[in-house]
Amino acid sequence: MGSGHSHALYVHEHSFVHRMAPQAKLVAALGMVASIAITPREAVWAFGVYAVAIVGLTLVSRIRPGFVAVRLFAVAPFVLFSLFIPFIATGETIEVLGFAVSVDGLWGTWNILVKALLGASVSILLTATTQIADIIRGLAILRVPALFISITTFMIRYLELISDELGRMRIAMTARGYDPRWISQARPIATSAGALFVRSYERGERVHAAMLARGFTGEMPTPPLESVDRRQWLRVLVLVGAFVGTATVALVIT
């Protein structure tokens, strides 16, 4: 839950992955992650293939593997949970270092670990090579409803402003000696959240007034549709095809 990310993970580089159209990258990412998710866990070789492909993609995107590795820590809570599984799971057990652990449980841990980490790696690559505004644009091109896109665009625009206001409020409170440890002391946080909501809402009304003042009648301007050259979609097809193919083979032979 909300792990304190206030800055997107975009890394500015010049690679062909960075230059790819966002809708193509979204489709590619989804295809890759879906393939990973449906691969049976016993097909360890398949995950090896995926991992190699993802590392290759990372290098081609000129993203440092270390960068991705650090961001993977966000999946930590679930990784931790998965490590407990063999100890609380049911089914036949084997001895490991003096502990009785469930065999099925070990497989369960492996399943969650490998899929969570590989899936997160793909997500991290996507966000590292695509700016938020472009991700939203990609969604719009993929026919996500206009209202959804407009609201999201506004959210992105004002996120930093509101986070900053929130930060300033917290600083002001801390400067006056506020150092809460217990929920019973949380009142100022909650009331400042309420105040922030009112301020945000009133800003929303002012922005609406500004939009009306410039002739807004209810329709947001649509982003220009750019044509994506076939080669990009071809690359996506090849990449996703490779992943899907691997998954299919794994499903069949396992």
Partner 1 sequence: MHAPDGFLEPSVAVVTAIISLVVIGFALRQSREQLKDKAIPLAGITAAFIFAAQMFNFPVVAGTTGHLLGGALAAILLGPSVGAIIVTIVVVVQALAFADGGLTALGYNVLNMAIVPAYGGYAVFRLLRRVFPSTAGGVVGATGIAAWASVVMAAVAFSIEWLFGASAPVAFDTVFGSMVGIHVLIGIGEGIISALAVGAVLASRPDLVYGAQDLDQAQLTESKVGTRTFVIGGMLVALVFAAVVSQFAVDNPDGLEKVAEDTGFIESGEEHSLADSLFSDYATSGISNEALSLAVAGIVGTVVVLLVAFGLFSAVRETRSRDPSSV
Partner 2 sequence: MSGIIDIRGIEFSYPDGRQVLHGVDLEIGAGERVAILGPNGAGKTTLALHLNGILEPRAGTIAVSGVAVVEDHYREVRRMVGLVFQDPNDQLFMPTVREDVAFGPANLGLEGEALDLRVDAALDVVSGSEFADRPPHHLSGGEKRRAALATVLSMEPEVLVFDEPTSGLDPAGRRELIQTLANLSMTQLVITHDLPLALELCPRSVIMNGGRVVADVPTGDLLDDPALLADNRLELPYGFDRSGESPSY
Residues binding partner 2 (CB under 8 A): 133, 153-154, 156-158, 160-161, 203, 206-207, 209-217, 221
Comparing CB distances to partner 2, the nearer of 184 and 222 is: 222
Minimum separation from the CB atom of position 6 to partner 2 (A): 12
> 213 contacts which partner out of partner 2, partner 1, none, CB within 5 to 8 A by kind?
partner 2
Minimum separation from the CB atom of position 135 to partner 2 (A): 12
Cross-strand pairs, 244: none
Minimum separation from the CB atom of position 161 to partner 2 (A): 6
Comparing CB distances to partner 1, the nearer of 167 and 231 is: 167
> 111 contacts which partner out of partner 2, partner 1, none, CB within 5 to 8 A by kind?
partner 1
The structure tokens listed for 172 are 């002001």
> 28 contacts which partner out of partner 1, partner 2, none, CB within 5 to 8 A by kind?
none
> 8 contacts which partner out of partner 2, partner 1, none, CB within 5 to 8 A by kind?
partner 1
> 214 contacts which partner out of partner 1, partner 2, none, CB within 5 to 8 A by kind?
partner 2
The structure tokens listed for 60 are 């081609």
How many CB atoms within 10 Å of residue 211?
13
Nearest alpha carbon to residue 45 among 235, 239, 251: 251
Do 27 and 236 meet the contact criterion of CB atoms below 8 Å apart?
Answer: yes
Rounded distance between C-alpha atoms, residue 246 and residue 159, angstroms: 40
The structure tokens listed for 142 are 């993929």
> 145 contacts which partner out of partner 2, partner 1, none, CB within 5 to 8 A by kind?
partner 1
Rounded distance between C-alpha atoms, residue 229 and residue 68, angstroms: 29
Residue written as token pair 């209202």: 147
Minimum separation from the CB atom of position 116 to partner 1 (A): 4
Q: Rounded to whole angstroms, what are the CA distances from 88 to 79, 94, 111?
A: 15, 13, 16
Comparing CB distances to partner 2, the nearer of 49 and 134 is: 134
Minimum separation from the CB atom of position 176 to partner 1 (A): 16
In the chain, where do the E strands start and end? 93-96, 99-102
